[in-house]
């Protein structure tokens, strides 16, 4: 070997082993990071950005079909105090009341079954005022035989039927009311006169004159002179025929309209409004009684109950002097009547 020329040196075995170890560690670390990244990628996929939701602008106005499908004022048809939801949650109880049983109208303010009370539909004053008001109509219709036969008998039929209806309610009224002692007799006498005045004959005129005298006796504080003859149990269908009650119903609807023309008119005609809606409520209850025409027709009963309940809601609104609630209730009432007239017309 020549001097001055350095010979190449091979690394020692320790250095070789050390280098291999370092290389192995680096590769393992790289693989470990890769596996961790893949695991995280499967466990938490990257969130995708969603485009913002663009909502359509509210329409400037609704068409008539949509307006009829919804109540303009939901509070007008709700009954009872507003539930205290926060207090119920704090006490650990249910936030809302359980649903009503099937077949029970939540909007109905009229007790049913053994709990029914006529005073929930009509006041004693309305019953007595109705009888007094009709007296003048009957006096004009039955004044002369010629007037009676020339068309007065039709007014007498409606008048006697309406009076019989009032005395029928008075006989079953749950509070003290005038004429209650003689109500059952008066009910039957005036009901018979109403049915017989379908035609203008000498016989129907003579009976109308007698019943007019009985009515005057009652107004004077006396009892009717005649006695009713009954050979069967009382039925509401015997009080008045449906056409006569429908005529009285139409008169009540005409009396209601001026009161809801405006808020000012509502205050001016409040007493007239209250009287009319109470008469509507009474008719709605009577025409669904057993043995009355169509009493077993579910659709007809549904219309009548809706009319009755709307009248009761209007009565409550009038008692609070709440024009908007009264107007909404009358809207329900008129809707039920117009729908019913489309299917059943006297």
CATH architecture of 242-343: Up-down Bundle (1.20)
Tell me which residue has tokens 């004159």.
209
**Gap between the Cα atoms of 28 and 22, Å rounded:** 10
List of the chain residues with pLDDT < 70: 1-114, 231, 345-346
CA angle, residues 138, 243, 215, in degrees to nearest 5: 25
Q: What is the pLDDT of residue 243?
A: 87
- What is each CA distance from 84 to 58, 74, 75, 76, 80, in whole angstroms? 32, 18, 16, 19, 12
CB 258 within 8 A of CB 306: no
Q: Please provide residue 78's backbone torsions phi and psi, each rounded to the nearest 5 degrees.
A: -85, 145
Cβ-Cβ contacts under 8 Å for 123 (sequence gap 6 or more):
278
Domain boundaries along the sequence of the chain: 117-233, 242-343
Q: What is the pLDDT of residue 250?
A: 92
Q: Please provide residue 238's backbone torsions phi and psi, each rounded to the nearest 5 degrees.
A: -85, -10
As to burial, measured by CB atoms within 10 angstroms (0-12 exposed, 13-18 middle, 19+ buried), residue 58 is exposed
Q: What is the pLDDT of residue 84?
A: 45
Q: What is the pLDDT of residue 202?
A: 96
Angle (deg, nearest 10), helices 270-286 and 124-141: 90
**Gap between the Cα atoms of 245 and 165, Å rounded:** 9
Cβ-Cβ contacts under 8 Å for 97 (sequence gap 6 or more):
83
Q: What is the pLDDT of residue 315?
A: 96
Q: What is the pLDDT of residue 58?
A: 55
Q: What is the pLDDT of residue 59?
A: 61
């Amino acid at each position: 070997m020549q001097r001055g020329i350095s010979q190449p040196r091979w690394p020692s075995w320790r250095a070789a082993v050390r280098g291999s170890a370092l290389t192995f560690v680096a590769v393992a670390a790289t693989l470990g990071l890769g596996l961790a990244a893949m695991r995280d990628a499967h466990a938490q996929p990257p969130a995708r950005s969603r485009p913002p939701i663009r909502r359509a602008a509210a329409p400037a106005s609704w068409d008539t079909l949509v307006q009829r499908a919804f109540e303009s004022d939901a509070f007008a048809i709700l009954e009872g105090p507003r539930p205290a939801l926060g207090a119920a949650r704090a006490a650990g109880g249910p936030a809302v009341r359980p649903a009503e049983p099937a077949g029970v109208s939540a909007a109905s303010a009229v007790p049913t079954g053994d709990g029914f009370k006529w005073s929930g539909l009509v006041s004693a004053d309305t019953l007595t005022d109705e009888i007094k008001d009709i007296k003048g109509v009957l006096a004009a219709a039955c004044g002369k035989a010629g007037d009676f036969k020339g068309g007065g008998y039709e007014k007498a039929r409606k008048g006697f039927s309406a009076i019989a209806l009032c005395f029928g309610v008075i006989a079953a009224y749950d509070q003290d009311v005038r004429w209650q002692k003689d109500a059952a007799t008066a009910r039957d006498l005036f009901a018979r006169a109403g049915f017989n005045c379908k035609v203008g004959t000498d016989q129907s005129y003579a009976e109308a004159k007698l019943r007019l005298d009985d009515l005057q006796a009652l107004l004077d504080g006396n009892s009717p002179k005649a006695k009713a003859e009954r050979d069967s149990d009382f039925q509401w269908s015997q009080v008045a025929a449906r056409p006569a009650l429908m005529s009285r119903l139409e008169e009540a609807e005409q009396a209601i309209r001026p009161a809801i023309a405006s808020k000012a008119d509502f205050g001016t005609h409040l007493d007239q409004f209250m009287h009319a809606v109470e008469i509507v409520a009474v008719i709605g209850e009577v025409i669904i009684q057993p043995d009355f025409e169509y009493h077993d027709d579910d659709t007809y009963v549904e219309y009548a109950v809706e009319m009755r309940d709307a009248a009761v809601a209007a009565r409550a609104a009038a008692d609070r002097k709440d024009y908007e609630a009264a107007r909404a209730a009358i809207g329900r009432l008129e809707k039920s009547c117009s729908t019913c007239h489309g299917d059943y017309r006297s």
